Amino acid sequence: MDFLELAQARYSCKKFDGRTVAKEQLEKVLEAGRLAPTAKNNQPQHIYVLQSEESLAKVDQLTPCRYGAPVVLAVAHDTGNVFHYPGDKYDSGAEDAAIVATHLVLGAKAIGLDTCWLNFFDPDKAKELLQLPENEEVTILIDLGYAAEGVRPLANHASRKPLAETVTYC
Ligand SMILES: Cc1cc2nc3c(=O)[nH]c(=O)nc-3n(C[C@H](O)[C@H](O)[C@H](O)COP(=O)(O)O)c2cc1C
């Protein structure tokens, strides 16, 4: 699969079967995340692999969007280890986490796993429930597992704006 084929093959899976993810597969996905670039190479990410019954029950308290995934990756970042844009109004925390998460979902697809990226949860509640340290915030949850039989991408997966609407050559 070349990169565009991989990007096309990834879709938001909204129904997982019960199969667990082998440790070796999980580690490949995490390695894809590890290779992601971050601002100043600060690597502020902290990924929580939520797979125990107790942890998954916490995810279910946070969001209705687990869809039966056997693993959920909570992509947190260290707010004290981010790049501050000149002007100091913005920082790279959520941005770094998003790049890591993108590597995770594409890395997963490359080895036959499916994912769904989630932000339908309250980050403050997640921080409390997952007992994150004071300096961490979590802005992304990723369902990870194997799509249930017959699951197909939703229709909007094939609906992307033409480049002419999203790109300006200056
Ligand atoms: C930042 C972000 C947040 C998302 N949050 C959710 C979510 O909370 N629940 C959900 O079911 N899907 C969520 N999605 C999935 C999107 O709805 C989906 O990516 C989009 O509709 C395009 O479909 P595709 O991923 O199958 O191509 C999210 C995706 C992104 C990128």
Distance from C-alpha of 103 to C-alpha of 10, rounded to nearest angstrom:
12
CB contact set of 52 (below 8 Å; sequence gap of 6+): none
CB 75 within 8 A of CB 49: no
Specify the pLDDT at position 18.
81
Specify the pLDDT at position 1.
85
Residue 102 in contact with ligand 1 by CB distance below 6 A: no
Distance from C-alpha of 119 to C-alpha of 12, rounded to nearest angstrom:
13
Specify the pLDDT at position 130.
98
Testing ligand 1's pocket by substitution, the residue of 4, 6, 12, 59 carrying the most ligand atoms inside 8 A of its CB is 12
How far is the centre of ligand 1, averaged over its atoms, from the C-alpha of 120 (Å)? 9
Q: Give yes or no for residue 20 having a pLDDT over 90.
A: yes
- Give residue-wise pLDDT tens across range 51-110: 999 999 999 999 999 999 999 999 999 999 999 999 999 999 999 999 999 999 999 999
User: H helices of 10-148, where?
Assistant: 23-34, 53-62, 93-110, 123-129
User: H helices of 63-168, where?
Assistant: 93-110, 123-129, 163-166
- Give the length of the chain: 170
- Give residue-wise pLDDT tens across range 106-137: 999 999 999 999 999 999 999 999 999 999 99
CB 25 within 8 A of CB 113: yes
The domains found in the chain, sorted by start residue, are 3-151 (3.40.109.10)
**What is the H or E stretch that residue 138 is in?**
strand 136-145
CB contact set of 21 (below 8 Å; sequence gap of 6+): 51, 70, 71, 113, 144, 145, 146
Distance from C-alpha of 55 to C-alpha of 6, rounded to nearest angstrom:
30
Residue 154 in contact with ligand 1 by CB distance below 6 A: yes
Coil, helix or strand at residue 77: strand
Residue with tokens 């339908």: 120
Residue 12 in contact with ligand 1 by CB distance below 6 A: yes
C-alpha angle 81-92-51 in degrees, rounded to nearest 5: 75
Specify the pLDDT at position 25.
98
Query: Which band of pLDDT confidence, cut at 50, 70 and 90, is reported for residue 153?
Result: very high
Question: Which two tokens mark 43?
Answer: 């690597």
